[in-house]
Every structure is written in structure tokens, then in C-alpha cells.
Amino acid sequence: MIPLPSAAPGRTIFAHESPVAIIVFYCLAVISIAVFFYGWGRRLAKYRAGRSTGCRLLRPAPAGSSGTGPGTTGHGGCPVPEVVAGVNATPGTAGAVLALVTNRTVRRRSRAVGLAHLAVFWGFAGLLVATTIVAIDYDVYGHLVTGLLEGRQRSFFNGDFYLAFNAVFDAAGVAALGGTLYLLWRRARAEHFHPQLDYRRAEQPDAGYSRSAFVAGDWLFIGVLVALLFTGFVVQGLRIDESHFPPYERWTWMGWLFARALTGVGIGAEAATTVHSYLWWLHASMALGFVAYLPFSKAMHIVTSGADLLVTDPSTTRCLPPPPAAEGRAGYEVLTDFTRKELLDLDACTKCGRCHAVCPARAAGAALSPRDLILDLRQWAERQRGIRPVLDWETRPDATGPAATGPGVSLAGDVVKEHTLWACTTCMACVEACPVGIEHVPTIVQLRRSLVDQGRMEPRLQTALQNLAQQGNSFGKSARMRARWTKALDFSIPDARKEHVDLLWFVGDHASFDERLQELSRTLARVLHRSGVSFGLLYDEERNSGNDVRRVGEEGLFEMLVEHNLAAFTKSDFSEIFTTDPHSFNTLRNEYPGYGLEKRVRHYTQVLADLLEEGAIPVRPLGRRVTYHDPCYLGRYNRVVQAPRRVLRSLGCETVEMPRNKDNTFCCGAGGGRIWMDDSHLTERPSEMRIKEAAELGVDTFVVSCPKDYAMYSDAVKTTGHADHMTVRDIVQLVDEASTAPGALGVASGVAVEA
Amino acid sequence: MKLIVAMRQLPDLVEELELDSSGKDIDREYLTFVSNEWDEQALEEALLLKEATGAEVCVVALDEPDVDSTLYTALAKGADRAVKLTGIPEGWMSTHDRAAILSAWLAEQSYDLIMTGVQAADDLDGQLAAIVAARLGLPHAAVVVRVDAKDGVAVVSQELGGGTAVEAEIRLPAVLGVQTARQPPRYAPITRIRQAMNAGGLEEAPAAVTPGVRPGLRRLFPPQRSGQAEMLEGAPADVAERIIDILRSKGLIDAGA
């Protein structure tokens, strides 16, 4: 049976196997492939049960981040006056494919893991190509084409092609083996990667739970991959060993090394022949088993995560999709309410835990982990569709959470707990961190919509919503009092409803009604007034923008507020809008265009940066060392990260960056309507963690650019005991200080003007 | 079982109330109106009763500013019918007039229980339920905090003073002045209110405004300040002198001391 070493490079397929064994192999292969397609058929049927939102894979290339005028299509086909890549531009297919093949999202913020994954990705892609080539040569070219046509099986798997094949695909195997061994080693040291690889739930079921199947499933997956690669190389080594090391097999360089090692441990040509057959069957059955196992396990991410990355659209979280109104429902209640993309999201999750690690609610001890949310929904969806996964479920002694079934069980409230859904600050850190393109926040909002529809919410939130419905602000104050803060100014701000202004200032609830923040609004008014820029207000006709109302899940109230604000815009005369509040900024910029707003929207830090650089606000350098906190809705949602830093530079301040900054900023805990809810149950408020992070930097000024941040962090410096050496300052207070202090003169720029 | 909940509109007290030129009413021109918060409690208790017994809930209100929003909100929350009594004279209406209009309409209806808020901002004495009951010749209970229906009677819990409560059976039909429901009034999502508005379904009935002897309103005025604080400023020694002078002038210390 020992094939003679031939002079011509090549190898015989099924060299050791009898015709019966070959038939057995093909039968097993057919079964495994049948199971593979059955599994994917079940999954595809599940996705098809979801709502279709159009194929986002067949979309036009994104418009550039600059030079695109009004009318450019953004999310959902609505016109966006200003398209910004990565914010409201729908990504193009080419970019998505590039991100996929380079593993860009996997490498982001996790270099070592990302590179290991890239090696595994391309390694296995190479091995898949290798196996396919052999199959084409042996089965298609050999048996079907030449075998049938010429009556004689021919092969191209020899000669130089054979040598190059082995050299290249041995490299692929080595890459895959190196990558999997690193990931195996990391998994074995999971405790060093706390909390990312910690599977303990954020929301604790009363009767307990076990996630040991998750852990076993992880080990099975990585274990099979390593075993496949290792046995593959050993089989190669045995073949070279038993054929007495033909010199051309040096091209099979890794197999050659394995063969050398085998002879080194005393396995000669004779022994190799015996072992070869057994090990080949082990290798082959593992491979066939893996194919069958793939659609039912963590391994499905090989397909689902890639597919999700191709169809993910970061603009979805910035501009939330409407409720599933066609089904007559206000929010998600049943599986068919989910979009196909969202059902794919559930299967795309690899439990990598990046979202779990960055979530401020999880860090604060709340009952939310974005990872748990996705995994719970996935298990619920699998049960709904009768799909039984392999080692990929959580067990509970009672039928609660994802196992809850029967009449009276509501998806929002029972399957996913109420306090879990309300814990979300919609800071979007999870969406940003997810390497496979899962959009957690839109799903959470859809589930919240269902809670709101059932009237399930805490009393404080209900009061806030009733105030918003009645008076258009969450403070429950008269709508006519909105601009009362302007009365303490010694000049009057033009009324945009009565005269033309260049900039319409959308002040927002907190900056208008919160007495602690009204002085900040007056400071901004004075700075703008002195600069000579033309700006005005809507006065008592402004209403809450609705950003947080929408994220709470009160879509009807959001629409009511939008209608009111749009009517006020229509009767006013202005060129563009700027906001104090980053949350208002987000909805005006990304969501209002869908309702007809066609004006450019900016944040006040952008206005200030331009005015300072134009010299319209003369300042003296402050020479302070400060740190700056990026608001989620400014830095992460809208990528406005340079404007506030330009302002600080213009003021001659040195900005010491926080460890988590810009699009990686950490939430203050107030977003997504959390500011209207009780946070006394948290073990530590996110704002307090953030202040402690800042306290490590050795700076005395914590600069913010959001009214809610000012309120949250002013409290947090006191409660964390840092009030005596750290002050929270709104960026406009620094501008004011630099422009009114003695010696304010000259044109401010990067070059400091000496006083 | 048929429940009728009488609701009413009041100026939103977050607005600054001002008197009109007549001095007998507040200036209603720029006010926003909301439903009486105790009526919301009565509605909630009625809806809970509906959920427990399958009763029918009908809401009735006089045609006052923004009343449609209150009635549609009640429908969105689960009320079965909403009736608006039209032809109401503008301006403030006394509780007696209000009770007369409601009673005239109620006399034509079939019902087991009439519920309304125990009081309102301009009816702190809580007379409405009592007068309606008197006009209809029905039993009445005030300061109700819970209602359960049981074989032709209602079991009502009432709050008494001094931290005591009483549970009583009341023969039906009856009129109840509700203090609180057993749970906070539910939230009506705007989408549902809008759906109710789009569906219409608000019934209208002419209000029978009967002439009669009523108490007349002579004057409306903000509460007069009964006392005033005077801030003493200046050096501590001067302030101390002033305090002594004041105490002497009030006769609180011996004038010659």
C-alpha cells in the first residue's frame, strides 16, 4: 500500500483507503453537508420571518464627508443636509467588504486579538480554498470531466502547481494554528480579561442560572479548530515520513518539519503508514463533523458575523427606525416584528464581550449587559423557531427570561426584564465596540416602545412624559417661561419669528429651565452677543427636541414635539441652527431631516471654534491644563471631537486627554431618558467613575460641553470627594473668562497673544 | 355593571394665574387646561374595576377648554364611551351649576356607580359628588381610596382623619368622591391618544343649564399676605440695636431696660 516515491511531485488522493472506505467517506460527507444546509435553511427561514427593510447590500457608494450639498440621501432615503461618513452616511458595499476582509472592526481597540483573528480568518479561508481545489481536481476534473469524457481520470494536482499549493497553504495552516493557539491561550486565562470574558449575567434571575454550556461551547469550538489544524499537519508529516522524504516535499515546509519531528520521536516509515490511516479518519471526521456543527453553534459566526458586517448601518442608531407600525404594534412583541437585519444581529454575536466591557449601565451595577440582551433574545428566537443549538444556551431551573413561554408572557418585560431595558443610557458604546456590526440600541428602543405602550414605566418617567406632552418640557414648567432666563441679560436676543437671524439657537430644556444651567446659557448669550454674530431664539415656541423622548420609546410624543418644532422653524427666518444640548443636536441633525428640516445643524462648540479662529472673540491665553469630556451624542454619535479641542487650543489651554476619549468616551449616565429615572440603585454612578478617571490626570479643570454633563459632573465631583481640587466648567465659561478678563485683546489663534 | 366617571378641566397651575378686568374670574385667554388630578384617580379606579369585573366605563365632561384631549386620553386608557356635554357658558362655573348640569344628564342614563374626583382646585370642599348624589337621591361616599364590586353592592375603603380608615358597603347605584386609586393613574401613550382621536367616537349631548338660585361671586383675589418679614442689614452692632428697638416697640421686653 505504500505509494512509491515518484520523481514527479504529487500525491495520491485517498492513498490508503479501500473503495468501501471511500464510499463511506462520501456518504458521511453527504450527510454532513445535508445537515449543514438544513441548519442554514432553518436559519434563513428565521431571518425571512423578520420584516424586510430592503437589501442594504445593494446600496450606492456613500457620499463623501464633504462637498455634498442638501438632498444627499442618508438613512432610510431621507434627505440629510449634511452627510458625514460614519455618522449618517449609509456605508457602501466596497467599504463594508474591505472592513470584513481586513478584520478592521475586530482589530479596532484590540490589536492582539484582532491580529490573531485575522490570521485565523485568512488561514482558514486559505485552507477552504485548498480543500476546494483538491475537490475540483479529484471530483470534478478527475471523475466527472475527464473520467466521463475521456474514460481516464486526469489531474492537475501535480508538478509545480502541487509544490506551490503546498508551500502556500502550509503557510495558511500555520497562520491559522498560530492564531487559534493565541486565542486558546487567552481563553484559558479568561480571568485576566475581566469583565470581557466573564459570562456572569448583569441581570440576575431569582432562581439562578447556569452558563456552563456557553463555556463548554467555546472550548469545543476553539478545541476543534486547533485539533483540525494539528492533525492536518501531522497527517502531512506522516505522508512525507512514510514516503521516505522525497526532496520535492520540502515545499510542504510545515509538513516536512512535522515529519522530521515524527522520525525524531521514533516514528519511522512503517509506523507512519499504520498511524496515517487512523489519524486521517480522525482528521476527516472532525472536519465533516465541523461542517455539520457549524450552523448550530458559535461557529456560525463565520457566516453570520461576516454577513452582518456587510449589512450593518451605523446611521440606524443615530436616526432610529420607526415602530413596526404595519403590524399595528407600537413596539416589538413577537419575532416577526424584528427586521431581518436584527435577527441576523442575534446570530452574529460571538459573545466576545466588548459591549459588556464598555457598557456604563453594566459598569454601574445595573441589570443591563448588551451581550446578555443579545444572547437572551437569540435563545428566545431559537426557541420560537424550534432551532436547537449545540452547547450554546443558558440553563435555568425555571422557565424565565429567554425560556419564558406561553400566553401572558411579554417579550419586553418578561423575556427581557423591564429594569434591564430601562437601564440603557443609549450611549452607543456597545454599537461602537461591536466588531460584527450588531446594533443593540435600536432593538432596545423598539422593546422600550412596547413597554411604553403597555404603560410600564417608573413614576418619575411617567411624570416627565406627561409634562412633555402638556407643556413641551420635562420640568413641568409653563411653556411660556422657556425664555425667562434671558430677562437677566442687559440686551435682548432677537426673536427669530420676527426678524432674520443667521443662527437660530435651539437652547433645549435643561439650559432653559434648570436654574443651575441658566447662567451658562446667559454666558453663552453674552459671548455670542459680544462677537457680533447674528443669532436668535424661538422663545416660547421652542419645545423639547424629542431626542430622549424617542429613545425612551414614546414615539407618538416624539412626533408631536417634532411637528411643533418644525412649525416653529417654518414661521421663523434663519440660515442655520445650533444647539446647546448634544442630544438635541443629534435628533435635529440626523432625525429631523426625515420630517422635512433642511437646515444645517451645528453644536455651540462648533460655532465657538469658528468665531475664535476668525478672531470675532478676542481672548487672552488662559494657560490652564484641563481635561475634556466628550458627550456621547457629540463625540461618539456625531464625531464632533475637534471643535471643542479647537476652542480649548484657541484659549491657550493644554488638553490632557482622558484615557477614554472621542468616539471611545464614557457616558455620564444621563442619556436615553435616564435623566428622568431613578439612579439610586446603582452601585456607582457612571459620572462618578468618570470623575475618578479624570482625577488620575492631575488636572484641576474638567471641561464639559453639554448641560446635562454640567449637572451630572457637578454632583459627581462632590459625591466622590474631588470638589476641593477639581472644578467642572462648561467650555463657554472658559471662553468667557478668557474674553472678559483684563488684558483680553488681539486675535486668538493657535498662537497665544501675550497680554 | 356600568360605571360613569365625571371629569372636568382646570387651568394648568404651572401657568401664572391672573385676574381678568371684571375681578370675578381669572384671565383665561392664554391659559392651558388640564384635567382635574382627582378625576384622573377616579378614572383609574374605574378602569381597575373594569379589568376586575368587565364593567363598562363611560366618561362624561362638560365642554370646557381642551376637554377633547382629556376624553380621548380616557378612551386611550380603556374607557368604553366618552360624552361631552355641550352648550356650556364660558368662564368659571360654580360647583352647584356643574352638579346641576351633570345630574340632569345622569338622570337620563343607566348606571351602577358614578365616580368623580373627591375635590378640585376650585372645589376644595369636595361638594360636587355630594350635590350630585343629593340631586339624584343616591347614597354617597367621599374620600374613597378603593372600590370593589360585590353582588349589587360596592365595598368602598375610605380614609378618615387621624390615620384611620373604614371599609363600608354602599348600596348601588351610588356616587363616590375618589381620593386615590389603588395604583397611580396609568400612562396613555400619545400614539394611542392620536389613534383614539382619529377614530373619533366622542359623543356629544346638549347640557341642560337650568336657571335657579345660585350663590353669586362678589370678588376673586389672590391670598392677601398676612405677615411680612423684614431683612435687617448692616453691621452686627447696628442690627442688634434695631432688634432691641423692635422688641421694645412690640412690648416684648421692658421699655426701660
What CATH number has the domain bearing residue A724? Answer: 3.40.50
Are residues A599 and A633 part of one domain?
no
Residue A84 domain-assigned (yes or no) = no
How far is it, in rounded angstroms, from Cα A77 to Cα A483?
36
Chain A nearest CA to B77, separation (Å): 9
For chain A, give the number of residues: 755
Are residues A136 and A250 part of one domain?
no
pLDDT of residue B152: 79
CB contact under 8 A, A470 and B12: yes
Are residues A177 and A118 part of one domain?
yes
Q: For the residues B135-152, what does the mean pLDDT come to?
A: 92
Asked whether the beta carbons of B101 and B207 are under 8 A apart, the reply is yes
B30 has a chain A CB within 8 A of its CB: yes
Contacts of A397 (CB under 8 A, 6+ apart): A207, A208
Q: Which of A9-18, A261-270, A583-592 has the lowest mean pLDDT?
A: A9-18
Residue from A659, A635, A602, A630 nearest A731 by CA? A630
Residue from A378, A306, A385 nearest A102 by CA? A306
Answer whether residue A71 shows pLDDT above 50: no
Answer whether residue A104 shows pLDDT above 70: yes
How far is it, in rounded angstroms, from Cα A359 to Cα A430?
6
Smallest CA–CA distance from A469 into chain B, residue: B190
- Overall number of domains in chain A: 5
B91 has a chain A CB within 8 A of its CB: no
A607 burial type by CB count under 10 A (0-12 exposed, 13-18 middle, 19+ buried): buried
Residues of A in contact with B191 (CB under 8 A): 330, 453, 555-556
CB contact under 8 A, A556 and B184: no
Q: Which of residues 114 through 133 in chain B touch A, CB cutoff 8 A?
A: none
> For the segment A508-560, what is each residue's pLDDT rounded down to a tens digit?
999 999 999 999 999 999 999 999 999 999 999 999 999 999 999 999 999 99
Answer whether residue A2 shows pLDDT above 50: no
Asked whether the beta carbons of A285 and A25 are under 8 A apart, the reply is no
CB contact under 8 A, A330 and B14: no
Are residues A397 and A276 part of one domain?
no
Residues of B in contact with A557 (CB under 8 A): 189-190
What are the C-alpha distances in Å from A320 to residues A418, A445, A562, B151?
Answer: 20, 8, 14, 51
Are residues A623 and A602 part of one domain?
no
Smallest CA–CA distance from B191 into chain A, residue: A556
Residues of A in contact with B30 (CB under 8 A): 480
Kindly state the percentage of chain A with pLDDT values over 90: 85
- How is domain B2-206 classified at the architecture level of CATH? 3-Layer(aba) Sandwich (3.40)
Asked whether the beta carbons of A663 and A718 are under 8 A apart, the reply is no
pLDDT of residue A57: 54
CB contact under 8 A, A462 and B184: yes
Residue holding cell 367616537?
A: B201
Q: Which of B30, B191, B194, B195 is the best residue to mutate to test the A interface, defined by the most A CB atoms within 10 Å of its own CB?
A: B191
Chain A nearest CA to B15, separation (Å): 5
Residue A206 domain-assigned (yes or no) = no
Residue A459 domain-assigned (yes or no) = no
pLDDT band at A619 (very low <50, low <70, confident <90, very high): very high
How far is it, in rounded angstroms, from Cα A171 to Cα B218?
100
| DSSP output for A698-749 | T-SEEEE-SHHHHHHHHHHHHHTT-TTT-EEEEHHHHHHHHHHSTT--S--S
**φ and ψ of A78, to 5 deg:** -85, 145
Q: Which of A73-82, A194-203, A334-343, B144-153 has the lowest mean pLDDT?
A: A73-82
Domain boundary among A396, A418, A453: A453
Residue A463 domain-assigned (yes or no) = no
pLDDT of residue A3: 47
pLDDT of residue B25: 87
pLDDT of residue B231: 84
Domain boundary among A453, A488, A513: A453
Write out the three cell numbers for A271. 509506523
> For the segment A289-305, what is each residue's pLDDT rounded down to a tens digit?
999 999 999 999 999 99
pLDDT band at A747 (very low <50, low <70, confident <90, very high): very low
Chain A nearest CA to B128, separation (Å): 26
Residue of A330, A459, A478 with shortest CB distance to B189: A330
Looking up residue A496, the CATH number of its domain turns out to be 3.40.50.1860
Q: Which of A102-111, A305-314, A479-488, B20-29 has the lowest mean pLDDT?
A: B20-29
Q: Comparing A193 with A288, which gets the higher pLDDT?
A: A288
Write out the three cell numbers for A264. 525524531
Contacts of A624 (CB under 8 A, 6+ apart): A651, A652, A653, A654, A700, A701, A734
Residue A62 domain-assigned (yes or no) = no
Kindly state the percentage of chain A with pLDDT values over 70: 93
Smallest CA–CA distance from A461 into chain B, residue: B187
Q: Comparing A84 with A740, which gets the higher pLDDT?
A: A740
pLDDT of residue A62: 42
> For the segment A224-283, what is each residue's pLDDT rounded down to a tens digit?
999 999 999 999 999 999 999 999 999 999 999 999 999 999 999 999 999 998 999 999
Chain A nearest CA to B190, separation (Å): 5
pLDDT band at A649 (very low <50, low <70, confident <90, very high): very high
Asked whether the beta carbons of A707 and A717 are under 8 A apart, the reply is no
Chain B nearest CA to A477, separation (Å): 6
B186 has a chain A CB within 8 A of its CB: yes
> For the segment A143-190, what is each residue's pLDDT rounded down to a tens digit?
899 988 888 889 999 999 999 999 999 999 999 999 999 999 999 998
Asked whether the beta carbons of A545 and A595 are under 8 A apart, the reply is no
Residue from B70, B176, B47 nearest B118 by CA? B176
CA A203 to chain centre: 21
Residue A76 domain-assigned (yes or no) = no
Are residues A496 and A431 part of one domain?
no
Interface size, chain A vs chain B, as Cβ–Cβ contacts under 8 Å: 49
What's the mean pLDDT when you consider all of chain A? 91
Q: For residue A286, give the H/E element and its range.
A: helix A269-293
Are residues A399 and A336 part of one domain?
yes
B184 has a chain A CB within 8 A of its CB: yes
CB contact under 8 A, A455 and B186: yes
Residues of A in contact with B189 (CB under 8 A): 330, 452-453, 455, 554, 556-557
pLDDT band at B51 (very low <50, low <70, confident <90, very high): very high
Are residues A339 and A449 part of one domain?
yes
B87 has a chain A CB within 8 A of its CB: no
Q: For the residues B90-115, what does the mean pLDDT come to?
A: 93
Are residues A574 and A494 part of one domain?
yes
How far is it, in rounded angstroms, from Cα A213 to Cα A298?
11
> For the segment A235-251, what is each residue's pLDDT rounded down to a tens digit?
999 999 999 999 999 99
Answer whether residue A13 shows pLDDT above 90: no
A10: three-class secondary structure by DSSP: strand
Residue holding cell 457629540?
A: A634
Question: How many CB atoms are closer than 10 A to CB B215?
Answer: 9
Answer whether residue B91 shows pLDDT above 90: no
Are residues A449 and A331 part of one domain?
yes
Are residues A514 and A483 part of one domain?
yes
CB contact under 8 A, B193 and A477: no
What's the mean pLDDT when you consider all of chain B? 91
CB contact under 8 A, A554 and B189: yes
Domain range for A389: 319-453
**φ and ψ of A686, to 5 deg:** -55, -35
Answer whether residue A76 shows pLDDT above 60: no
Q: Comparing B256 with A653, which gets the higher pLDDT?
A: A653
pTM for this entry: 0.91
Residue A53 domain-assigned (yes or no) = no
pLDDT of residue B256: 59
pLDDT of residue A73: 41
CB contact under 8 A, B16 and A478: yes
Are residues A331 and A410 part of one domain?
yes
pLDDT band at A69 (very low <50, low <70, confident <90, very high): very low
Answer whether residue A700 shows pLDDT above 70: yes
Contacts of A132 (CB under 8 A, 6+ apart): none
pLDDT of residue B252: 85
Write out the three cell numbers for B107. 338622570
pLDDT band at A7 (very low <50, low <70, confident <90, very high): low
B99 burial type by CB count under 10 A (0-12 exposed, 13-18 middle, 19+ buried): buried
Cα Rg of chain B, angstroms: 24
pLDDT of residue B24: 86
Q: Comparing B160 with A64, which gets the higher pLDDT?
A: B160
Please state whether beta strands A535-536 and A416-417 pair in parallel, antiparallel, or not at all (unpaired).
unpaired
Residue A534 domain-assigned (yes or no) = yes
Asked whether the beta carbons of A408 and A368 are under 8 A apart, the reply is no
List where CATH 3.40.50.620 sits in chain B: 2-206
